[in-house]
Chains A and B, each alone.
Chain A
């Protein structure tokens, strides 16, 4: 296994690790702000998976120059740019709804938020 292949697979492992930590945090944490933080972590992991899917070893960033001949796939990177912005918007909304819910129930603990029960 060459260094480039190892980098390739370690990128995938990091991305999966971020998603796993994020989902685990969403499932087990009780403070709503920590849940928001874990959600953002999972979001970052998904973005990294998308970038990784367009990554090719031994190639340059997709900025064409006289010295650059082979580049990685620009399409997933463009999609991730979109995804990051949507992620920021969702996180901002998540935090605001969390603050509103914690003001109503008097605590940031999700177990006390009766409105979220069904």
Chain B
């Protein structure tokens, strides 16, 4: 009871502060600052039609490298902690609907994921969402099977290779153009084509492979620790 009242008071106070801070706020009509700059120069600078991808991979590529590192350390921690929990003896068997779906859908899901990864510079998407889509296909296969996944060395090696590719692409820019992760070591091409936008498609592929293998590894270790004790 006290817990509910305290929670309610804190939540109401928080919303009052937030609402009072935006009370003199009016609807903006023009872009300002960095957003305006990216919008005007983005396509010329990077060759990417999708400006969000241009910001994520080209302008703020170093931040994305850091983000990949965060994801890597989190997945490592998950796997590490789950080794403290004993491997489950018999995982819960899938229902017939899940088992049937897991036999049909994964191919189409992986295909869609690859489309999202490779068209990151043209349409909404990129390495992170596409990688998550591919990993969801792995999850479906795992939920549809009755067995505990074995060793995940294959996933780990894909993950390491993808991370290494990202770093090496960064150093390529450093060696040739004197700037880490410079996008234009490959020609920008004509915006809107699949082979354009410098190294953005390559980095998207690396990120996609890394995210897909990392999340699949996390799902596999979840599955191992699940089920009966």
- Interfacial residues, chain A to chain B (CB-CB below 8 A): 5, 8, 12, 16, 19-20, 23-24, 27-28, 54, 56-57, 61-65, 71, 73-78, 81-82, 84-86, 88-90, 92-93, 96-97, 99-100, 103
| Interface Cβ pair total, 8 Å cutoff | 118
Q: Which chain A positions have C-beta within 8 A of B39? A: 62, 71, 73-74
Q: How far is the CA of A102 from the CA of B74 in the complex (A)?
A: 20
Contacts of B71 in A (CB 8 A): 85-86, 88-89
- How near does chain A come to B126, taking the closest CB pair, in angstroms? 8
A8 to B28, CA, bound (A): 10
Q: Which of B8, B10, B39, B126 has the most CB of A within 10 A?
A: B39
Instruction: Say which residue of A56, A57, A62, A96 sits within 8 Å of B50 (CB atoms).
Output: A62
Query: What CA separation (Å) do A71 and B49 show in the bound complex?
Result: 12
Residues of B within 8 Å of A, CB-based: how many? 56
Interface centre among B3, B27, B215 (most CB of A within 10 A): B27
CA distance A90 to B70 in the complex (A): 10
In the complex, besides A57-B27, A78-B55, 20 extra interface pairs with C-beta distance below 8 angstroms are A5-B27, A16-B18, A20-B11, A20-B15, A23-B14, A27-B6, A56-B31, A63-B124, A64-B42, A74-B52, A75-B34, A75-B55, A78-B56, A81-B52, A81-B128, A82-B63, A82-B64, A88-B132, A93-B78, A96-B77
